A and B are shown apart, each in its own frame.
Chain A
Amino acid sequence: MTPSKTSQARLQIDQVHHDNESPLSIHDMTVAYHRKPVLWDIDYAAPQGKLVGIVGPNGAGKSTLIKACLDLVPRASGSVRIYGKRYKEQRSAVGYVPQRESVDWDFPASALDVVTMGRYGRIPWCIPPGKSDREAALHALNQTGMGDYANRQISKLSGGQQQRVFLARALVQDARVYFMDEPFAGVDAATESAIVTLLRELRERGRTVLVVHHDLQSVPEYFDEVLLLNMRIVAAGPTSAVFTEENLQKTYGGRLTLLSEAAEAIARNG
């Protein structure tokens, strides 16, 4: 859609703009589903060692942002760097917690099986996971308070427990930067506080965690940084500075209808 004359210019910008120290640096990223833009020109650099909340209304593109960073959905334009390198070269530095509803929990697997999957990234093709992998998985299960349920079939776990299993799976990835897609959705209070404790532990250990989050009330308590998103980045920065009434109004208010209408128009005609 962009005239080709800009592509060369953009290539040069690529090399200049990315912050090599930042756990996640997004430059000029646009993402479209079926040619309908859902994210426009995202520019963002996450600070090192912080808990970052990604906040915005439904359909704002929060999950898409994460998926586009992990190459799970194609980007129409722009580039993403994890500690200065492409995602492809930095897989071992990245941990991912998908939405709980994205998988079939009736799958024949135990909690331990699922957590062990977190180690698959470092095991070559065709080699089965070994003892050390299972020990790491058990350790992660214990960390999330799920040690007693290691051998339980995953469909027999409660929603909160399933979420903890997903978190444990991310823990065994032992990544430097984590992407979590609504880990707090539909969990009980005990799990919520367990997750928060875990997130803080990760921060203590110098990890960066980006969390898609729905509950506005808990944002100031849980996150050091917020990224207010509604198809574009409305505001980003330290929670105390950015998480203001005015910015929220901008993010959630009805004044952005034009943006989605323009997206609709592009989808219709493109």
Chain B
Amino acid sequence: MRSPARTFSTVLMGILMLGIFVAASTPAFGQDGTSSPRTITDTRFVWPSWDSIVRVALMRDHNTRIVVLGTTLLGLAAGLVGTFAYLRRRALMGDALSHATLPGVALAFLITGEKNLPFLLIGATVTGILGVLAVLAIRQSSRIREDAAIGIVLSVLFGAGMALMSVIQSTSNGNAAGLDQFIYGKAASMIRSDARMIGITALVVVVGTVLLFKEFRIVCFDQDFATSMGRNATVVDLFMMGFVVLTTVIGLQAVGLILIVAMLIIPAAAARFWTDDLKMMTVVAGGIGALSGWLGASISALLPKMPTGAIIVLTAGALFIFSMTFAVRRGILAGAVRRIRLRRRIALQHLLRAMAEIEERTGQPTSVDSNELLTMRSWVKSDLRKLTSRAAGAGLIDKKSWSELKLTQLGRTHAQRILRNHRLWETYLIEHADIAPSHVDRDADEIEHVLSERLIRELEATLEAGKDIPPSPHESMPEFAGAKP
């Protein structure tokens, strides 16, 4: 598993290096590249021309290139660190954190008096961290639960930020314009130095996540065990939350503080549907985050009046819904298909077993009437008809008509194996699990279909069974013989 790990880090590094290289090699920031001849009152929805689609997709515009790169890298970082925040059940802590950044931005502006991005982001970081600490302090020191503590910090600090913003807006003339881009995000205003900053931060987050992967994994899975082995959970958490803070702060400008939490949660939650392996999950989450950043920024560059942050989140949302529905591993559809398949397999096995039991009774290959089968199990007639057709299609039985069914040679082999497993399991339950014989049939019914080869072998060994079919425990007990025809 070392090689996937290496591939994983190599791929991530590659993406990053590429991003930083392009961001750094772009010429100085020019004028706003998206020129639109449309007036503000024009509400028609106009599809972008093929030309402009190509232009955006290939990132020919300098401005588009910067914005798309910035949001892609942001999505990558958020997906990576979000995976661990999600698994550590800290996802909504990010919401309190991001809302708490607003008063920091406003205070930084009030103190420095200018719109200097690094200063604003430092302010955001400080109050953001204070917000997280406040959540922890309220939870620790009072009967208020974490959910309410998050809500309190989020709304009150956001209110404080709004109050400060209103002060700024009424005192400073004009030079404060654009501060509110931190609320909803305004990727279009991103310049090269911003993209570079996002790139560098994303690099820090990615490298940190790769290095601390082992620590993050064990603390997320089993905090006590991690602590018992000398991995101080608080220190590991500090790194984890530190990366969350970094990602949130650099995401403010592009996605906005209300929606940045979505970039932490959605890619991680979507990735979980695709895989059961943490490394893969991290890669997939990073990929989904990067993809949403790239697609979202491109779409909003093409369509007028589309707020970039919202479009990025909607793209991520669409990927989430797609993953939840279609993912092979844990998706809803795959689960439904698996359930239907299992149900069909069980029905088929029931049919074969019933026919094998009849043959056992008659002692020779027998033609079976479906009506007889109907008395043996609570089958619905139409279901049984479909079932027998399917069995015939699979070459397990010969179906001449409703009343003439016969096991094929293949079907007989299967049927006898199924019957044998069933009996083995029944016997095991009675002899070893101390279950009343009248209950055994039902339990055996449910489990025998999922018995693996290995388990069967274990059963054989335990019961010292030969290769033939053991007698039915029901028949050997006269008082239950009547219970089952």
Contacts and interface: CB of A to CB of B under 8 A. Distances in A.
Judged by CB atoms under 8 Å, the answer to whether A and B touch is yes
Interface of A: 67, 70-72, 88, 91, 94, 96, 98, 102-104, 107-110, 113-114, 117, 120-121, 123, 125-131, 134, 148, 153, 155, 169, 173, 189
Given A121-B230, A128-B213, A107 B224 contact: no
Nearest to A121: B229
Contacts of A70: 227-228
A205 B226 CA distance: 26
A248 to B, nearest CB: 26
A103 to B, nearest CB: 5
Contact of A107 (B87, B213, B280, B454): B87
Given A98-B222, A121-B229, A126-B212, A110 B276 contact: yes
Interface string B220-240: 111011111111000000000
B224 A102 contact: yes
A153 B2 CA distance: 19
A211 to B, nearest CB: 16
B214 A98 contact: no
A127 to B, nearest CB: 8
13 contacts: A91-B228, A91-B230, A102-B222, A107-B87, A110-B276, A110-B277, A113-B217, A117-B217, A117-B221, A117-B222, A120-B226, A128-B2, A173-B229
Interface string B113-157: 000000000000000000000000000000000000000000000
Given A114-B221, A117-B221, 7 more contacts: A91-B230, A96-B224, A98-B225, A109-B277, A113-B217, A120-B229, A120-B231
Nearest to A126: B211
A117 B213 contact: no
Nearest to B87: A107
B342 interface: no
Contacts of A134: 1
Contacts, number: 84
A143 B159 CA distance: 59
A65 B45 CA distance: 68
Contact of B218 (A67, A120, A126, A153): A120
Interface size grouping (class) on chain B: 20 to 34
Contacts of B214: 120, 123, 126-129
A47 B227 CA distance: 26
A129 B229 CA distance: 15
Given A120-B214, A126-B212, A113 B278 contact: yes
A108 B222 contact: no
A126 B214 CA distance: 7
Contacts of B394: none
A70 B226 CA distance: 11
Nearest to B277: A108
Nearest to B281: A108
Contacts of B280: 108
Interface string B192-232: 00000000000000000001111101101110111111110
Residue from A110, A126, A128 having most chain B Cβ neighbours under 10 A: A128
| Nearest 5 interchain pairs by C-beta | A121-B229, A153-B276, A126-B211, A96-B228, A108-B278
A72 B233 CA distance: 11
Given A71-B227, A107-B87, A117 B277 contact: no
Contacts of B281: 108
A67 B224 CA distance: 9
A113 B275 CA distance: 14
Contacts of A128: 2, 5, 213-214
A103 B222 contact: yes
B467 interface: no
B221 A72 contact: no
Contacts of A130: 2
B432 interface: yes
A120 B214 CA distance: 8
A189 B1 CA distance: 34
Nearest to B213: A128
B190 to A, nearest CB: 32
A216 to B, nearest CB: 20
Contacts of A71: 227-228
Interface in B1-49: 1-2, 5
A87 to B, nearest CB: 9
Contacts of A148: 454
Nearest to A88: B230
Given A96-B228, A117-B225, A128-B5, A107 B218 contact: no
Residue from B211, B225, B272, B454 having most chain A Cβ neighbours under 10 A: B225
B200 to A, nearest CB: 20
A96 B222 CA distance: 12
B354 to A, nearest CB: 29
A131 B432 CA distance: 41
Contact of A108 (B213, B215, B275): B275
B221 A103 contact: yes
Interface string B440-460: 000000000000001000000
B51 to A, nearest CB: 43
